[in-house]
A and B are shown apart, each in its own frame.
Chain A
Amino acid sequence: MNAVERAVADAHRDEWAAVLAATVRVTRDLDTAEEAVQEAYVQALRTWRRDGVPDRPGAWLTTVSRRTALNLVRRRRTLDAKLPLLVTPAAEDAEPPAAIPDDRLRLMFTCCHPALSPEAQVALTLRLVCGVATPDIARAFIVAEATMAARLTRAKKKIAAARIPYAVPPAAELPARVDAVLTVVHLLYSTGHTAPSGGDLVRAELCGRALELAGLVRRLLPDDREAMGLQALLLVHEARRDTRTDAAGRLLRLEDQDRSRWDRAQIAEADRLVVAALRAGPPGRFTLQAAIASLHARAPSYEATDWPQILTLYGELAQVWPSPVVALNRAVALGMVDGPGAALAEVDALERDGRLAGYHYLAATRADLLHRLDRDTEAAAAYREALAGCDNEAERAFLRERLRRVTGSRR
């Protein structure tokens, strides 16, 4: 890759959302805006080779993209006069804004609107905010390219037809809408972190995009505590990402991971964010999860982790986010504080509750607790149950290995 190609690639990664967001103000239609932005990047490759890379690539791209968009719009306005257009907050022919961060925020709120399905929100965010090509999005979510293309088209059609606004929501709705944006970013990271199926456990590209988005959201909403919490949470995950599997790609438990290889700078940055978020007000679910992850990351060993504090934090998390998955994690912490017997009672109660039916982490947790209580016959049955519900190859290999241990040489 030569210098110009690298400059264009960098600008694609760093400026895509801002250029698109500024262009949507001209077109008020996402498809036309995308077309104009793509054309601007093609022109950049050609022109920059001849004239050199401009001082402010983003401004150059925005100007070219908006000019292209204006031409497209003028040509089309006569063709289809009554197409529904995006609702924009200001006059569309205003001067090109010099990278107003609000524009990207508007774009994110549009992509993560609750009127769109969660799958569509994630796909749109990758396509429109990150500029990831449709075939790459399809690969990341293990669906056919045509399926992903149709999903994106349907979502964009709904945005236009139902007039999902291109705007920052009013204050009354802001917390819920910010939560939707953060949820999408978190889902993106999780998809990259633990692929739902197939052999590739870590998809660094998706994780990287999610980290960039988390940083972007935090810069755009500097007073939002949960935006801080999410960025901290992702940083801790990222700091430990390389140690989640061994050289053969097998999954390693937290207690078996090589802590000396964790990225201390990322953990310190995450901790700084957690402290700032906790000081700023009552913590939400992302901040609490980040606080828990940060405690784990700063502990010298699994045994020397501050389990009582982690148990307390899980208790708080269960208050703000009453999810059975949180209750399951709380049970694991309880097992470290009060022993496996107390934890097993909680896990059994969760099993009776039924909401986690088929969730293989429930059976795996049960199996681990039973094994610690020397009830290996029951533990083996629970590992088999977990295996039946798990389709991630790395996790399956891990569960098979655990099953071999509790059944001795009988398998």
Chain B
Amino acid sequence: MTATDETLTQYVVLIYEHQTPNWPDDMPPEVMAANETFDDWIAEQGGRVVAGIGLQASDTATAVRGGVVTDGPFIETKEALAGLYVLEARDLDHALAIARMTPVADGGVEVRPLLGLQLGEPG
């Protein structure tokens, strides 16, 4: 059975990285290089990247909670959100098989289904 577009589900893959003082400048070059070819590899696996976003270091973030503005990210964690991409895959196992190969220096990923919002649909 070949999967048709109708059977693909959109997930967001959230990338968390341990934030070093000079992040992201001190990201290992091999991780940066792996990122360059990752979309093509995903396509070979039968998935599709609909959109991708990289973020500046978490200390550039500004949080607003209950109207109060504070410096830093909304949630302080050792591993901070570093980027994300929207992935189309057949099912969770397919999405996890792809997401686990996401190039990361020192961190991991979280895979979540998208709610409603369908990105990248033609028209």
Contact = CB atoms under 8 A, between A and B. Distances in A.
Interface stretch (B28-36, B60-68, B77-85, B87-95): B87-95
A351 B91 CA distance: 44
A324 interface: no
Interface stretch (A83-91, A119-127, A212-220, A394-402): A83-91
A274 B111 CA distance: 40
Contacts of B112: 162
Contact of B90 (A87, A115, A161): A87
Interface in B38-91: 90-91
B9 interface: yes
Nearest to B114: A161
**Which residue among B90, B91, B111, B113 has the maximum number of chain A CB atoms within 10 Å of its CB?**
B91
B93 A162 contact: no
B91 A163 contact: yes
Interface stretch (A6-14, A165-173, A225-233, A241-249): A165-173
A161 B92 CA distance: 10
Contacts of B9: 84, 163
A164 interface: yes
Contacts of B11: 162
B91 A164 contact: yes
Nearest to A89: B1
Interface residues of A, number: 15
A115 B1 contact: no
Contacts of B111: 162
B1 A90 contact: yes
Contacts of B115: 161
Contacts of A115: 92, 96
Contact of B93 (A90, A161, A169): A169
Interface string A85-112: 0010110000000000000000000000
A161 B113 CA distance: 7
Query: Chain B interface mostly helix, strand, loop or mixed?
Result: mixed
Contacts of A163: 9, 90-92, 95, 113
A84 B92 CA distance: 13
A173 B94 CA distance: 11
Contacts of A84: 9, 113
**Which residue among B7, B92, B112 has the maximum number of chain A CB atoms within 10 Å of its CB?**
B92
A164 B9 CA distance: 11
Nearest to A166: B91
Contacts of A164: 91-93
Interface in A150-193: 161-165, 167, 169-170, 173
Nearest to B111: A162
Interface in B1-15: 1, 7, 9, 11
A165 B92 contact: yes
Contacts of A162: 11, 92, 111-113
**Which residue among A90, A163, A165 has the maximum number of chain B CB atoms within 10 Å of its CB?**
A163
B42 to A, nearest CB: 17
A113 B91 CA distance: 13
A115 B92 CA distance: 9
Contacts of B97: 173
Contact of B91 (A87, A90, A173): A87
Contacts of A87: 7, 90-91
A167 B94 CA distance: 12
Contacts of B94: 165
Nearest to A85: B7
Given A89-B1, A90-B1, A165 B113 contact: no
A97 to B, nearest CB: 16
Nearest to B112: A162
A161 B9 CA distance: 9
Nearest to B9: A163
A170 B93 CA distance: 9
Interface string B105-123: 0000001110100000000
Interface of B: 1, 7, 9, 11, 90-97, 111-113, 115
16 contacts: A84-B9, A87-B90, A87-B91, A90-B1, A113-B92, A161-B113, A161-B115, A162-B112, A163-B9, A163-B95, A164-B91, A164-B93, A165-B91, A165-B92, A165-B93, A173-B97
